[in-house]
Chain A
């Protein structure tokens, strides 16, 4: 069974540009979560999607948005990039939403550098 796939693996952008990251969950998983990881702040929750609906959102500005498609694939978008958006963006999938008894499976991440 294929794992969680994130593309692209690396991205270099300049301030003010926008970027779209993609995540394909494990087959059969319907919940997708996004996390931002930086050396200073660690792993921080961005948002979670289930059945094409955003279930909850972390404490990030509106420049960060996402969506989920009917095949459970998800994209996140960051507009008007700032230097502080440089980070490893991780996607995780699970069978069901919420964090009841579900293991999270992570992709390898997209390393975004904003110059």
Chain B
């Protein structure tokens, strides 16, 4: 059964810092991984989708990498801003590739 963990659970940093969020999954036979952002009481916004054949994806100040063999992905946020404050979740397909299994998320606070 696919399981996803994320560390740290919460992170507080001053504005301008570069930071890394970590995601681990137990079954490496995945064909993609997505990173999402969720603001309090709201739905999720897809940030990056990495295919299994890719090693990383970039969008603006965000860069996500995928290492299937080790069952890990990292989300790198450059020059963090207060507007980046949110919960970040990663998700991978379940063992049948039919729905996503989500991690518990990392709650990020960027202080001005």
Report whether A100 and B43 are in contact in the complex, using a CB–CB cutoff of 8 Å.
no
Q: Dominant SS at the A interface?
A: strand
Report whether B43 and A48 are in contact in the complex, using a CB–CB cutoff of 8 Å.
no
Report whether B98 and A98 are in contact in the complex, using a CB–CB cutoff of 8 Å.
yes
A58–B101 alpha-carbon span in the complex (Å): 11
Report whether A55 and B34 are in contact in the complex, using a CB–CB cutoff of 8 Å.
no
> A100 to chain B: closest CB distance in Å?
6
Number of A-B contacts (CB under 8 A): 63
> B51 to chain A: closest CB distance in Å?
6
Say if the beta carbon of B71 comes within 8 Å of chain A: no
Within 8 A of B (CB), among A57-80: 58
Known A-B contacts A90-B43, A111-B41; the reply to A104 vs B34 at CB < 8 A is yes
Query: Which residue on chain A has the smallest CB distance to residue B51?
Result: A101
Say if the beta carbon of B99 comes within 8 Å of chain A: yes
Per a CB cutoff under 8 Å, which of B31, B42, B99, B104 touches A101?
B31
Q: How many residues on B have C-beta within 8 angstroms of the other chain's C-beta atoms?
A: 26
B residues with a Cβ closer than 8 A to A are 31-32, 34, 36, 41-46, 49, 51, 89, 91, 93-94, 96-105
A100–B36 alpha-carbon span in the complex (Å): 17
* Chain A 80-107 interface 0/1 with B at a Cβ cutoff of 8 Å (1 = within): 0000000010101000001111011111
Known A-B contacts A55-B98, A101-B51; the reply to A106 vs B34 at CB < 8 A is no
Report whether B104 and A42 are in contact in the complex, using a CB–CB cutoff of 8 Å.
yes
> A107 to chain B: closest CB distance in Å?
5
Say if the beta carbon of A20 comes within 8 Å of chain B: no
Per a CB cutoff under 8 Å, which of A55, A88, A99, A111 touches B100?
A99
A105–B102 alpha-carbon span in the complex (Å): 14
Known A-B contacts A48-B99, A98-B98; the reply to A104 vs B93 at CB < 8 A is no
Q: Which residues of A contact B105 (CB under 8 A)?
A: 42
Lowest 3 CB-CB distances: which A-B pairs, in order? A106-B43, A43-B102, A99-B93
Q: Which residues of A contact B99 (CB under 8 A)?
A: 33, 45, 48, 56, 58, 99
Report whether B45 and A100 are in contact in the complex, using a CB–CB cutoff of 8 Å.
no
> B58 to chain A: closest CB distance in Å?
16
